[in-house]
Amino acid sequence: MAEASVGGRSSRWSLQGMTALVTGGTKGIGYGIVEELAELGACVYTCSRNKAELNECLQQWAIKGFQVTGSVCDIVSSTQRNDLITKVSSVFNGKLNILVNNVGANLWKPTLEFTEEDFSFLVSTNLESAYHITQLAHPLLKASQAASIVFISSIAGVVSINIGSIYGAAKGAINHLTKNLACEWAKDNIRTNCVAPGTIKTPLAEPYLKDETFVEKYMRRTPLGRFGEVKEVSSTVAFLCLPAASYITGQTICVDGGLTVLGF
């Protein structure tokens, strides 16, 4: 049977008519994901904490012809998370096809130097906020009847790369949460996957990119011998959201130039 066609492209390779929420879309990987999903036809909603930067991004996207709206939200705040989902529900009439939990942060210290405040900051930003946003978004995802959640974790949650044990533990928990939700919510037509980037050139990664020891070790351990680009992560996220990926759920895909598969 012939596939429906959208703009000359099979509908299996289009996000036309779909709605998406991407957290932390004003910089780095999140910015790239907003653009990638919008280019494929999705209506995207995003958030960040800096109002001026968010408005600047929204203007740029409007000029490019992308359908992107957004609002300020610190996703570590329970009240602000609730407000965010209320707004998303109102903008998208209670239906959300795609949720990308992108926000994350890191502090780079040896384990014995971490404080209780550091632990709380890292776990609330990298794990707790994504967990609760996903809970809140569940009714909207279910209502869309064909939904996809993508978590952004890190190869630090797959192997030890010595950039902070709390970050690694929180990202490892996200990888496992992916498997649980894939099984629990399959009955609601919600697929759940995870993308685990290696080092990607973004503001978050700047301290590592400037550290000569880290760069030298990273290059030695990475078969492709370079850092990654934002586009190389956003394309993987977009693929997982497409109807073309309809049999993929519960997976963590490392976008890391081969770092996690190199033995010696």
Ligand X SMILES: NC(=O)c1ccc[n+]([C@@H]2O[C@H](COP(=O)([O-])OP(=O)(O)OC[C@H]3O[C@@H](n4cnc5c(N)ncnc54)[C@H](OP(=O)(O)O)[C@@H]3O)[C@@H](O)[C@H]2O)c1
Q: Which residues bind ligand X (CB under 6 A)?
A: 24-30, 47-50, 53, 73-76, 102-105, 125, 152, 154, 197, 199-200, 202-205
CA–CA distances in Å: residue 255 to residues 10, 54, 162, 199, 220: 26, 27, 18, 9, 17
Q: Residue 140 or 161: which CB sits closer to ligand X?
A: 161
Cβ neighbourhood burial of 208 (10 Å; 0-12, 13-18, 19+): middle
The CB-of-77 to ligand X minimum distance in angstroms stands at 8
The CB-of-75 to ligand X minimum distance in angstroms stands at 4
Helix residue spans in 20-164 (DSSP H): 28-39, 51-64, 78-91, 116-123, 129-144
Q: Residue 103 or 140: which CB sits closer to ligand X?
A: 103
Q: Residue 14 or 227: which CB sits closer to ligand X?
A: 227
Which residues touch 255 (CB under 8 Å, ≥6 apart)? 195, 196, 197, 198, 200, 228, 232, 233, 236
CA–CA distances in Å: residue 63 to residues 30, 52, 67, 169: 19, 17, 10, 40
167 noted as active-site residue: yes
* Separation between Cα atoms, residue 26 and residue 1, nearest integer Å: 41
| Side chain identity, residue 218 | Y
Q: Residue 21 or 140: which CB sits closer to ligand X?
A: 21
The CB-of-209 to ligand X minimum distance in angstroms stands at 9
Q: Residue 67 or 260: which CB sits closer to ligand X?
A: 260
Q: How many CB atoms sit inside 10 A of residue 89's CB? A: 17
**Which of 45, 167, 208, 247 does the annotation list as catalytic?**
167
The CB-of-33 to ligand X minimum distance in angstroms stands at 9
Known catalytic residues are: 167
